[in-house]
Structure formats: C-alpha cells, structure tokens
Amino acid sequence: MTVPTQDPGVDSGYRPADAPHTADEVRGSSIGELMRQVTSDLSTLVRQEVELAKAEIRQEGRKVGMAAGLFGGAGFGGYMVALFLSIALWAGLSNVMDAGWAALIVAVIWGAIAAVLYSMAKKNARRVRGLRQTNDSVQRIPDALKPHPEGVTR
C-alpha cells in the first residue's frame, strides 16, 4: 500500500506505508524486506513516470495537432491563392511586358508570401514544450538511488 506524501503528478512523492523511517527501523529490517521495499519503490516510480509521460503527451499533442493543421491550412491556402492570383497577375503584367518576365515577377512575389507563412507556422510549432516535467523527474532518479551521508551507519 502506498501513502501519498504530496501531489503524485509533481514529484515521485509516494512511498510504501511500511517503509522504515529511522536508522533503528532499518537495522531491524531484514535484507529481504529492504529489497522488497526498494523493488516496490522502483516499480511505483516507473509507473508514475509512465503516467506522467502519458499526461504530458496528451497535453502537448493538442498543440502539435494545432500546428500541423496550421501548416496544412497555410500550404493549401497558399497553393490556391498562388494559383489563381498568379494567373490573374501574370495576365495583367503580360499586357505591359513580356510574358516570361511577368511570370518571374509573380513567382518572386509568391515566394515571399510562402516564406512568411512558413515562419508563422514555425513560430507556432516552437510553442510545443515536449516532456519537460517527465524528463526533469527521470533525471533525478539516479540521485535518489545514491547513498546519502545521513543514511544508516553501524
């Protein structure tokens, strides 16, 4: 059985209810009991980290979906606008200059528009944070397994 010591989503704040707290309690425990507690704690920690990663993926997935939709919408909209306006602009410019030069001017204009749409989509994609909370807590796991000076002494 586990007893929450704080919010389970914030830190690895669960510990077995029967875990020894003092040096005397640890000295009184058998190696088997201590190994069972360590195994139980590690199992709980891994389960908590997996749940935290799932929650973060769901949360960040919405942002990724929004960014993907914006990229797709920008691409399709850009294509349609470029197609019809390019034809109209090319035809209009062909009245005052050679058709080849008119086509080149139209292509440069739509290249600039595509660059603006790409930079807006890239800016939105940067808002996706990733699994920062899970990554931070996983990086603290090795420290939790190291012996501490205030630990049990003989």
pLDDT of 150: 66
* Confidence category of residue 70, pLDDT binned at 50, 70, 90: very high
What amino acid is encoded at 33 in this protein?
A: E
Tell me how far apart the alpha carbons of residues 127 and 96 are, in angstroms, rounded to a whole number.
46
* Confidence category of residue 21, pLDDT binned at 50, 70, 90: low
Residue 131 pLDDT > 70: no
Tell me how far apart the alpha carbons of residues 37 and 17 are, in angstroms, rounded to a whole number.
10
Provide the residue ranges of all domains of the chain, joining segments of one domain with +: 2-145
pLDDT of 89: 87
Model's pTM, two decimal places?
Answer: 0.36
Q: What ranges in the chain are assigned the alpha helix state H?
A: 23-27, 31-94, 99-125, 132-145
Residue 67 pLDDT > 80: yes
